[in-house]
Chains A and B, each alone.
Chain A
Amino acid sequence: MAYRLSFAMTALGNLLTTALDFVAILLMFSRVDALGGYGLPEIAFLYATSSTAFGLADLALGNMERLGRRVRDGTLDTLLVRPVPVLAQVAADRFALRRLGRIVQGLAVLGYAVAVLDVDWTAGKVLTVPVMVLSGAGIFCAVFLAGAAFQFLANDAAEVQNAFTYGGTTMLQYPPTVFAREMVRGVTFVLPLAFVNWLPGLYVLGRPYPLDLPRWVAFTPPLVAVACCALAGLAWRAGLRSYRSTGS
């Protein structure tokens, strides 16, 4: 009972904070009139796809943040002696249904954006929306996983990883022309996070790409997501092998 109540309350809380997130953008937009030349529905679309993708990844692997503590205090030992992969156990541990808040809210904004966007909805564009959300979720999962793997090396890495992912989503909620060219280049090539939302998003919106990238890059996110997950998986395995437990 207490759990159910706290679930409802945190879900509501999450909903409110993410809503505030969006309202902040809205306010800024109403002052500036157009943020980097993008209108409200377009920003809503970019925001909603990234937020939903992140919400999905967070639902699956958000618990990975707590792994750092387990690595430090050695309680990871208990997960390692069970016949189920550690990842599955961590994901299932207090399965964070409350994180549904972000997804629900992301989907709601997405619904709004799709309804009001002035876009010629070809089959390709319609298909791109779920694909970009899912591959975005895959990429965010890879980031969570890589962050978890990193925690085996650096003991106090939980904060670093948070800066990575949470900072990452905030940046993705703004259209790319706001940022300097070098920064965009870094985000596209160094952090494949941009695939979550910018390139396919711009394709859906019929906007030009930054850096004159070819049109087809809008369809690479699934491949990038798979590659990222594979790399992160390798890092995770290496991390587990270097786990040293604690004395006693």
Chain B
Amino acid sequence: MDFRDSPEEAAFRARLRSWLAERAGTFPAAGDEYWARQGEWHQALYSAGFFGLSWPKEYGGHELPPVYDVILDEELALAGAPARPSLGYLVQGLGRHGSEELRRRFLPGMIDGTQRWCQGFSEPGAGSDLASLTTRATREGDQWVIHGHKIWTSYSDVADWCLLLARTDPDAPRHRGISAFIVSMHQPGIEQRPLRMINGVTREFGQVLFDGATVPADQLVGQPGEGWALAMTVVGHEREPSTLGFSARYGKLVRELTARAGERVPEELAWAEVQAEMLRLHVRRRLSEQLDGVVHGPDGSLDKLLMTWVEQSVGHAALAVGGTDDPELLGAYLYSRAQSVMGGTSQIQKNIIASRILGLGA
């Protein structure tokens, strides 16, 4: 065991640090401006060689050991830069379940940030109970035709592609009738309705209505009926701070709050600092464990809970420092409430931990 950087890691960290220093303050890290310029940030990180660190070279990655991602998160937090784009869960989903042809066609653009993606899973009636989704895909000749209503679709307004779950076999048992598609967002038959979050941000997520949008048959991922397996891979990784890179966001906010608080550090802030440090170290451990191979188990639910507690204690610290007078800190607090819902609610994570890890039935 060694928590120190190897010489290669240290060299990478130094390069990254000086690159970040040159760009200090040029990218917004929160609010609608962040969402508006997230694509630019992604491409800037990628072209400087700091994104897609552990992914295969043939798709544009660097095939570095997974722990390089934690170096990235730590340095982003230190520099006060935006977090790394959190699309690792889509890369994992497509990487594991897509054919070689689909991987070659779509992963490079996803990783280098030239193509933006959204995840069309949830529906008004199918949130926690995702398998009850009713969006239909019907085969017509060499394409599929989509009808249905997706909601909470993050970044849908800027997305070029949607990884969509739709029901292809209404007669099959509900988990087996679902398929996954790569749907172009640039076509008629798709209507976007933005949603406003409680912090006032309008660019975080939206509703997407599919009414006759089409997908070429070769953009079905895997076989018909295999959508559920893909969904489980995606949500599994969506729960992992090591995949999402959110720990950078918390570290950055804690540093900012500490600077603002001055002499009198409220207890909430001290606690948030402890929590954020836990997560940073937790991500180090999880990414190190990936040296034995990436696993897709219910452990992600533990990580999701830990991450949620961190984000929400940082949110409470923001309130303790800024009260309701500082719109940005109030926004950070309000945004933190969504963390116990997105990617599967805390109640659902606890159900998974209880039944699948602890074997407590139900």
Is the pairing of A and B real? Answer: no
- Which residues from chain B sit less than 8 Å from chain A, CB to CB? none
- Which residues from chain A sit less than 8 Å from chain B, CB to CB? none
